[in-house]
Structure 1
Amino acid sequence: MSGRETLLGRYELRGVLGCGGMAEVRDGWDTRLNRAVAVKLLHPALNVQSDIRRRFEDEARSAAALSHPNIVSVYDCGDDDGRPFIVMERLPGDTLHDHIAQGSLPPHRVRAILSDVLAALATAHGAGVLHRDIKPSNILVSADGTTMKVADFGIAKTAGVAHTLTGQIVGTMAYMSPERIAGAPASVADDLYAVGVIGYEALTGSRAFPQDNPATLARAIMDAPPLPVSAVRPDVDPTLAGVIDRAMARDPQHRFATADQMRAALGGDRAALFSGAASTAAARPATRVLDEPLPVGAPGTFVAPNADYFVPGGRKRKLTRNQKFLAAAGVLVALTVGVLALATDPSSTTQVTEPVSTSTPVSTPPSVAPPPPSVTPVVEPPDEPGEDAEAGDGNGKRGNGNGNGNKKRD
């Protein structure tokens, strides 16, 4: 044995690949299988925090249960003298964040990147796992640059796991959906929204929501969607632009229903691109054509004096003098009853009807974060200048342990 630090007498620990708020990632070597690995170690100071430790263990279980070419593989996990660790596949490439930092990417490459990410999410969602922190730094690029792998299921949520405190938001705010900012539970629509934000960023070379201050960032996500892709990159084909725009729709009912549907739309399936979006507008009832005219004064009808009406297949008829008189009398009686009802209703003079808003306003001043009082965002300090603040997870990591300097944030 070389004298290097080892875990369980098997995994040699070498240089640090990255470090974040929750864990550090070390270059490692599996002495039993003679292969390079990446080892994630929970910070010793966090071992005493049971919720953080459980979340770390959940990452291992969630990721180990998923087997897919576009998901970073977990080989092993355990505890060495009170130090929880996860042994993962080590990739020699960079993160998508590193590639976008060099400038906007060509549309054909963005399409391939999103397709890989969606394939990974389809598998995760099919297993009941929501990632909840999809972002460029959690997407690793293979050495040849042709394959994307989704990493960091540290704040993933499964059907039987719920360590998030009531009113606490976890994830990276710049890639959160409006409903997550407002405190709604995570859903498939949130992961797909984040994929759309990634696509927007990859095409434009800058974040869809570039605000640094958490309050202004949350307000922008809630109330100020970015320009459509076609307005920023006119050269992008309408299908790719349409997929990204739909994925970033503020209303989750207008987004794609599944990762498979979004991936099919990305591949040119127009039915997938346009189907499945629920309309918020109520359907207009069909126009009803009567076979015969309703009698004057029938319940629910009103015929003004001198009015005409039509009989299908017939000609326009004029009301007779007596019919006009009866109609006018009916209107007068209705108005009289209405006036008496208002006069005898005490609430008619003491109550003022307030306007009802169907939107989700952010009523707090710009200096205060907009989520509702019941939601308590936990914001981690940025990993480095220009890096987004993370909420709840505490995984501001720089290095996911899945590459040679894979600068992935926890």
Structure 2
Amino acid sequence: MTSTRSSHAPLPYTRLPDLTGSTVENGKLKLLELLGHGSFAKVYKALDTQSTASSGAPIHYAVKCLLNGEPGSQEYNNLLNELKNHTQVSGLPGVVALHRSFVEGEHVFVVMELCDTDLNRFVIEHKLCDKQCDVAKRVFLDVLDAVETCHAEGVFHRDLKPGNILCDADGKNIRIADFGVATRSEESKQFGVGTAVFASPENMDKTRDTYSPRGTDCWSLGVILIALMTSSLLWKAPVEADDTYSAYRADPAHFLRGTLDLSPSFNSLANRIFDPNPARRPSIPELRTEVEAIDTFVVPPPVDIVALALQNPLHKPKKSKRRATPPPVDSSATTPRRSLSIASLTRKLRKLVHRRASP
């Protein structure tokens, strides 16, 4: 999560102690292991020590630990904002359930549904970009449904990324998490929020008066879709100082096709998502319709027939006991009769490529 604080200042989560093995909420929850951390919090896997499921199985939760700021402070207001927005959508399809929150000493604990993994880990472990575009497509359509649910409740996330999208081990049951910078405002004056890689250019542009959080979420969805289909991130930040982003803006029609081998239909959709004008970006229903219609997202690079020929030579002259004659160095010299013509070589190479491509 980006911040206006100095890059040399320690992030808030570093001020949080390691509570692994501790019990909280009057002994009701035991913090078993640290699952991870964000800029402002640590998240633990916790065991409910006083209850079990109807099957007798233990009940586990994800417990988020944050610093409890002074009332009126920025930290305190951020926490209230997160709890308010998460509560607004908790229990809806596609959103991590928020069960309760409580304060102990200097810390606030937020008890949430425990999920198997997040989308970032799922993509890496299952190598979705490796001929699994059908799985990636299904996952992305589920993400669209979840984000649309939040938007319908007037909650705009502003930090959509694979790490904030949780799921089951098989990539199903998608759920949005971490509403730390979410907002209910259609227009925002808070710039630089979220994660720069997934943020929209207008979110990063402090020369503007306001920007649309709804449009920012749409942009982030585009970056996520690229990541799912290609296992690549586009740029460090969508700003002019970023060389990759500047190169894309200089030639949007060809840049993504040339660098990521996007299919023509996917390339066209990506360019509409990454339109600098948020008003021209597709809505979530439009995005869903277009993604559903795309059969091929990535086109494999063309076969290098020269390299293929070197690996599988088609013309192998018979060995001769006669002394080999050095090839002529004069470009005007006549081609030896036994050599293979360019046209003939091309035909044979195409036949070889066709045989290799056949199942």
TM-score interval (norm. to shorter): 0.5 to 0.7
Please give the secondary structure, in 2, of the residue aligned with 1:190.
Answer: helix
**Residues 19-58 of structure 1: pairs in structure 2 closer than 5 A:** 19-34=37-52, 35-43=59-67, 50-58=73-81
> Residue 96 of structure 1 is aligned with which of 102, 115, 119?
119
Is 1:180 the equivalent of 2:197?
Answer: no
Structure 1 residue 219: deviation in Å? 6.3
Aligned to 2:334: none
Residue correspondence of structure 1 range 55-134 to structure 2 within 5 A? 55-66=78-89, 67-93=91-117, 95-101=118-124, 103=127, 105=129, 106-134=132-160
Task: Tell me which of 178, 182, 189 is aligned to 1:156.
Answer: 182
Cα distance in 2 between the residues matched to 1:60 and 1:218 = 36
Distance 1:49 1:15 in 2: 32
Displacement over 3 Å in runs of 4+: 46-49, 99-104, 210-215, 217-237, 240-245
**1:29-81 CA-partner distances (Å, limit 9, x unpaired):** 2344431000001036x568821222123222212221333221111112223
> By how many angstroms is 1:232 displaced?
4.7
Measured after TM superposition, the shift of residue 117 of structure 1 is: 1.3
**Is residue 116–residue 166 contact of structure 2 (8 Å, CA) maintained in 1?**
no
- 8 A Cα contact 1:62 1:153, kept in partner: yes
Q: What is the CA–CA distance in structure 1 between the aligned matches of 2:71 and 2:231, rounded to whole Å?
A: 41
8 Å contact from structure 1 (residues 178, 221) kept in 2: no
Offset at residue 231 of structure 1 (A): 4.2
Identity %: 25
Read off the aligned partner of 1:19 and give its amino acid letter.
Answer: H
Matches of 2:45 and 2:96 in 1, distance apart? 15
Question: In the aligned structure 2, how far is the partner of 1:213 from the partner of 1:177?
Answer: 9
SS at match of 1:171: coil
Q: How high is the TM-score relative to the length of structure 2?
A: 0.63
Q: Is contact 1:135-1:175 (8 Å) kept? A: yes
Letter in 2 for 1:265: E
1 or 2 for the larger relative contact order (CA 8 Å, sep ≥6)?
1
Aligned residue identity for 2:73: S
Q: Distance in 1 between matches of 2:37 and 2:213?
A: 29
Counterpart residue number, 1:198? 224
CA 1:55/1:24 → structure 2, altered by over 3 Å: closer, same or farther? same
Q: Is the 8 A contact 1:113 1:147 kept in 2?
A: no
Flag the structure with larger Rg: 1
Matched to 1:178, the amino acid is: P
Number of matched pairs: 260
**Structure 1 residue runs without a partner (length 5+):** 270-410
Report the Cα distance in structure 2 between the residues aligned to 1:221 and 1:136, rounded to whole angstroms.
Answer: 25
**CA 1:71–1:136 in 2, change beyond 3 Å: closer, same or farther?**
same
Quote the offset at 1:170 in angstroms.
1.0
The letter for the 2-side match of 1:69 is P
2:268, 2:62 → 1: CA distance? 38
**What CA distance in whole angstroms lies between the structure 2 residues aligned with 1:181 and 1:264?**
29
Match of 2:194 among 171, 185, 190: 171
Does the 8 Å contact 2:41/2:64 carry over to 1? yes
Partners in 1 of 2:262 and 2:37 — Cα distance?
39
Q: Cα RMSD (Å) of the superposition?
A: 3.3
Residue aligned with 1:122, SS: helix
CA distance in 1, matches of 2:106, 2:247: 41
Instruction: Report the Cα offset of residue 237 of structure 1.
Output: 7.5
Amino acid at match of 1:261: E
Mapping for residues 390-401 of structure 1, pairs under 5 Å: none
Distance 1:157 1:219, change over 3 A: same
**2-side partners of 1:189 and 1:120: how far apart?**
16
Give runs of aligned pairs for residues 195-344 of structure 1, distance below 5 A. 195-210=221-236, 215-216=241-242, 220=246, 223=249, 227=254, 229-232=256-259, 234=261, 236=263, 238=265, 240-256=266-282, 258-268=283-293
Please give the alpha-carbon distance, in whole angstroms, between the structure 1 residues aligned to 2:256 and 2:214.
23
Aligned to 1:398: none
Q: Structure 2 unaligned segments of length 5 or more: list them.
A: 1-20, 53-58, 295-359
Amino acid aligned to 1:148: I
1:12 Cα deviation from its structure 2 partner: 2.2
The CA distance in 2 between the partners of 1:222 and 1:81, in whole Å, is 50
